[in-house]
Structure 1
Amino acid sequence: MSSFELNGTTYETDEDGYLVDLGQWNEDVANYLAKEEGIDMTESHWEVVHFLREYYEEYKIAPMIRILTKAIGKKLGKDKGNTKYLYDLYPGGPAKQACKVAGLPKPTGCV
C-alpha cells in the first residue's frame, strides 16, 4: 500500500493508486489524482466523475467501459456516451482512469 498527503491529511492508496477509503474522496483529492494521471480537469471531466460517483452509489460497483459508455449515453446524451469521447477525456482508459479520479475502486475486468 502507498499513501499521499494533501492539505494535512494522509490518504492511503492500493498498489494501483486507487483510494482505499472511498469516504475520504473530495474534489481536492480528485484534482490531485488527476494531476498524477496527467489530466487537467475540465467541466467535461467533472461531469464523468460525478456520473461515476452517482452510478457507484446506486449500484455499489464501478462500471466497465461498455457499461459506462451505455449508461453515460442514456443520461448525458449519445454524443458523450461513446468510447472516443471518453478516451479523449481519459486516455489511460475511461473506466480505469476516471474511476481512480472519482475515488472509486478499480472497475472489474480492468487490467
Structure 2
Amino acid sequence: MPTTTIDGHRIQVDPEGFMTDPAEWSEPLAEALAAQIGLTLTDEHWKAIRFARQDFADQGESPTLRRASVVGGLPTKSLFALFPQKPAKKLAYVAGLPKPRGCV
C-alpha cells in the first residue's frame, strides 16, 4: 500500500490519495488535508466531517452526497459551498475516509 507524509504525518493512501486506514486520521491531519485542497475548516466543515466519520463507522463506507444530505441533515447547497465542485469526495478526503462509491 502506498504511503505519503502530510504535515509530518505518515499515512497509508490509495492511488488517488484517499486514506486507507481511518484510524490514522486526526483533527490536526484533517486541517492539513483540507489545506492541501484549498479549504480552511470552519464549525460547519467539522459538523460534516464528524457526521461522515460516524456514518462510516456505522455503515462501513463513506457517505454519498445524498446520504450526507438526507441522513446527516446537511443541505446539498451547503455541502457544495463547504466542499466546492465535488463535495462527497472532498468531504471523504478531509475526513480520512475512502472515496465514496459512485464518485469518479
Provide the residue aligned with 2:7 in structure 1: 6
Amino acid aligned to 2:68 = L
| Counterparts of residues 49-64 of structure 1 (less than 5 Å) | 49-64=49-64
Distance 1:4 1:92, change over 3 A: farther
Query: Where does structure 1 differ by over 3 angstroms across 4 or more consecutive aligned residues?
Result: none
Q: Report if the CA contact (8 A) 2:18-2:93 is conserved.
A: yes
Task: State which structure, 1 or 2, has the greater radius of gyration over its C-alpha atoms.
Answer: 1
Q: CA separation in 2, counterparts of 1:34 and 1:94?
A: 12
Structure 2 residue runs without a partner (length 5+): none
| Contact 2:30 2:94 (8 Å CA) reproduced | yes
Residue 34 of structure 2 aligns to which amino acid in structure 1? Answer: A
TM-score, normalised relative to structure 2: 0.90
Task: Report the identity percentage.
Answer: 34
Instruction: Say what the alpha-carbon RMSD is for the aligned residues.
Output: 1.4
Matches within 5 A, 1:71-82: 71-73=71-73, 81-82=74-75
Which stretch has the larger CA shift, 12-21 or 62-71? 12-21
Partner letter of residue 29 of structure 2? V
After TM superposition, the score normalised by the length of structure 1 is: 0.85
In the alignment, does 2:94 pair up with 1:110?
Answer: no
Structure 1 segment 92-107 matched on structure 2, within 5 A: 92-107=85-100
Q: How many residues align?
A: 103
Query: Take 1:98 and 1:20, find their aligned partners in 2: how far apart are those partners?
Result: 15
Partner secondary structure for residue 23 of structure 1: helix
